[in-house]
């Protein structure tokens, strides 16, 4: 199930990138739509979590209120008709920069613990960060920034899909 989710989300990312590169106007609308749907789904998930689990927990009502706010944020995002492209691009760049930074920090921690996977993590993090920085440099030339961002999105999607095909060790207990 997890594997299917990762592959589908990777394919969506490639689709989004292709739309953005071929027609930036539609690309931005696509991004807003995806963002709105994501927030609505997150809101509904949080509400479901509240009613099935968190309401039995100390301070569990927090989940209820957060879920409602997320839901409203998602619905609001979906109703927006006039978002300057600059804002959307800046938002996407911020997310990639943050992800890249976290990945680099985790790679450093992995390296200090002697893990072998740290090089891959570091590479992903650096690529994410470099993409974000290049987009910031070209932010006023939106077509270039969109192209760079689209390429970065395709790269991330390929990595996501290839990781989904990683073998999972199922431990069978007798």
Give the residues lining the site for other proteins (CB under 8 A): 1-2, 40, 49, 52-54, 56-66, 68-69, 71-76, 78-84, 106, 109-110, 113-115, 117, 168-174
Other residues' Cβ atoms within 10 Å of the Cβ of residue 20: 23
Contact 17, 151 (CB under 8 A): yes
Q: Minimum distance from CB of 121 to other proteins (Å)?
A: 9
CA-based R_g, the chain, Å: 19
* Best CA proximity match to 93, nearest among 137, 123, 36, 44: 137
Cβ closest to other proteins, residue 20 vs residue 40: 40
What is the C-alpha separation between 150 and 155, in angstroms, rounded?
Answer: 9
Cβ closest to other proteins, residue 22 vs residue 98: 98
What is the C-alpha separation between 88 and 93, in angstroms, rounded?
Answer: 9
What is the C-alpha separation between 24 and 54, in angstroms, rounded?
Answer: 41
Q: Minimum distance from CB of 99 to other proteins (Å)?
A: 15
Q: Minimum distance from CB of 24 to other proteins (Å)?
A: 18
Cβ closest to other proteins, residue 45 vs residue 158: 45
Q: Minimum distance from CB of 37 to other proteins (Å)?
A: 10
Structure tokens at 71: 């839901």
Cβ closest to other proteins, residue 73 vs residue 138: 73
Q: Minimum distance from CB of 127 to other proteins (Å)?
A: 19
Structure tokens at 167: 């073998």
Structure tokens at 140: 């006023």
Angle, alpha carbons 80-83-86 (nearest 5°)? 155
Cβ closest to other proteins, residue 99 vs residue 130: 99
């Amino acid at each position: 199930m997890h594997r299917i989710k990762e592959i589908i989300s990777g394919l969506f990312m490639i689709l989004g990138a292709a739309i953005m590169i071929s027609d930036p106007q539609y690309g931005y609308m696509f991004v807003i739509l995806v963002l709105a749907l994501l927030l609505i789904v997150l809101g509904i998930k949080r509400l479901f979590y509240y009613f099935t689990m968190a309401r039995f927990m100390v301070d569990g009502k927090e989940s209820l209120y957060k879920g409602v706010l997320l839901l409203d944020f998602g619905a609001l995002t979906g109703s927006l008709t006039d978002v300057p492209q600059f804002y959307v691009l800046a938002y996407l760049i911020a997310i990639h920069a943050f992800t890249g930074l976290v990945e680099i920090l985790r790679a450093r921690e992995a390296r200090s613990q002697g893990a072998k996977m740290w090089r891959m993590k570091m590479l992903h993090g650096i690529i994410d960060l470099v993409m974000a920085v290049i987009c910031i440099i070209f932010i006023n030339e939106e077509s270039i920034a969109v192209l760079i961002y689209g390429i970065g999105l395709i790269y991330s999607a390929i990595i996501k899909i290839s990781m989904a095909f990683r073998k999972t060790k199922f431990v069978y207990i007798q």
